[in-house]
Amino acid sequence: MNDASMFRREEDVAAAAALRSDRFRLEREGDWLRLERIVEQMEKGRPGRIADDEVRALPTLYRTLMSSLSIARESSLDAGLIAYLEGLALRAYYLVYGTRTSFGAWCKGFFGGALSRAVRSIGPDLLIAFACMIAGAIVGYLLVAHDTDWFYSLVPAQFGDVRVPGASEEVLRSTLFDTGAKSQDGLTVFATSLFSNNAQVAILAFALGFAFGVPSMLLLVHNMALLGAMMWVFVQRGLGMEFVGWLSIHGTTEMFAILLAGAAGIHIGRSLGFPGQRSHLAVMREAGQRGAQVMVGVIVMLLCAGLLEGFARQLINNTGARYAIGYSILAFWLVYYFLFARKRAV
């Protein structure tokens, strides 16, 4: 590209143009096209290809464009030109006021404090969700203790095939402790599909917060009732401690994750129901974004839970070790969420 000759040609055309507004355009279009090239590269995610002097020129070019647009609107009737300027101005505006952090920097800020602060900021909702889960577990346990038929209506048929009321201790014990390598592979697959399933329960509990949080609470109660019912089956055969150990190794992480997800849903529902002095939309936006941060934490926790379930539970066949691992991980989550990054709280 021969810049000098192009420039001369443009000058000729500018001199020849009949209209003042066309001369205006021809004098400035070089800057606009230069900005458009920069915007193009940035949109493609290749800021490295922009030369240093172009980067330095960017603020000036952006302001030139904005003032060109204002002038063109007041002095030109060239609709094509104005459409171009508006389109380019909007693209540049979105870039200038777009997400500024890189993905890496966002991760650092997020896991280094923002996540913990988001969890702490929905404290009351955590208490509500926790109460729902405790209530659910107790109700499930008591219902089945009262009448074993409740078990079949609480627990889906394919979920616990051998783990039903009246199963022998031997059968139940075999589901808790691995005996051969054969069942191990099947269990790994099962664990992962369960991870995926639990992730969906968590997302469901969050998203259902829309309906004033009521479905989120019901979902928590129902899930824990299922657990309470299962608990009763094992307690009947004197395997309560072993069952809790089997569950704890990944369950502490997983149930904590579901608790957080439910609390995030309740948080949205609560701000929808009681927005206070401010508009529904503004309150919901804040609640939604706070909830979304918590949900990213939830998904990370569910991934950890899936790994623990898939590998650690099969490898560790000792109830004491299971308790130790499960609860030290729970302690880690509690410290991370409730004690970490307190000083920088904004």
Partner 1 sequence: MASASLPAQHVNPKLARILVTPEGVAMDVSVATAGARLGALLIDIGIIFGLLLGFFLLFLLIGWAYSVSGLPALNDGFAAFMIVTVIIVLFLARNAYFLFFELGPRSATWGKRSVGIRVAARDGGRLSAEAIIARNLVREIELFLPLMFMVSTGVQGGLTTFAGWAGTIWVGIFMLFPLFNRDRLRCGDLIAGTWVVNSQKVSLGAVVATGETAREDGKALSEHGGRYQFSEDELSVYGEYELQTLEKVLRADNVEAQETVCAAICGKIGWNPGAGDERAFLEAYYTQLRARLERNMRFGRRRADKHSQG
Q: How far apart are CA 332 and CA 256, in angstroms?
A: 12
Residue 345 sits in the site that holds partner 1 (CB under 8 A): no
Return the residue matching tokens 């960017």. 58
Q: How far apart are CA 129 and CA 298, in angstroms?
A: 14
Nearest to 28 by CA among 6, 46, 10, 47: 10
Q: Which of 60, 101, 279, 317 binds partner 1 (CB under 8 A)?
A: 101
Exposure string for 165-196, b = 16+ CB within 10 A, e = fewer = eebeeeebeebbebeeeeeeeebeeebeebbe
Show contacts with partner 1 in window 176-205 (CB under 8 A). 181-182, 184-186, 188-189, 192-193, 196, 199-200, 203-204
Residue 328 sits in the site that holds partner 1 (CB under 8 A): no
- For residue 131, give both structure tokens: 């109460």
- For residue 65, give both structure tokens: 């464009």
Over the window 294 to 313, marking each residue x when it contacts partner 1 by CB under 8 A and - when it does not, the resulting string is -xx-------------x---
Residue 99 sits in the site that holds partner 1 (CB under 8 A): yes
Residue 66 sits in the site that holds partner 1 (CB under 8 A): yes
- For residue 13, give both structure tokens: 């055309």
Q: Which of 50, 57, 164, 207 binds partner 1 (CB under 8 A)?
A: 207
Residue 281 sits in the site that holds partner 1 (CB under 8 A): yes
Question: Given the complex with partner 1, which of 169 and 185 has the nearer CB atom?
Answer: 185
Residue 60 sits in the site that holds partner 1 (CB under 8 A): no
Question: Given the complex with partner 1, which of 67 and 328 has the nearer CB atom?
Answer: 67
Residue 75 sits in the site that holds partner 1 (CB under 8 A): yes
Show contacts with partner 1 in window 26-45 (CB under 8 A). 26, 29, 32-33, 36, 42-45
Return the residue matching tokens 């190794």. 249
Cα 247 to Cα 145, 230, 314: the distances in Å are 20, 11, 12
- For residue 279, give both structure tokens: 């508009």
CB of 293 to partner 1, least distance (A): 5
Q: Which of 87, 112, 240, 320 binds partner 1 (CB under 8 A)?
A: 87
Q: How far apart are CA 42 and CA 65, in angstroms?
A: 17
Angle, helices 181-207/280-307, rounded to nearest 10 degrees: 170
**Among 52-60, 96-104, 324-332, 335-343, which window interacts with partner 1 (CB under 8 A)?**
96-104
CB of 144 to partner 1, least distance (A): 24
Question: Given the complex with partner 1, which of 11 and 43 has the nearer CB atom?
Answer: 43
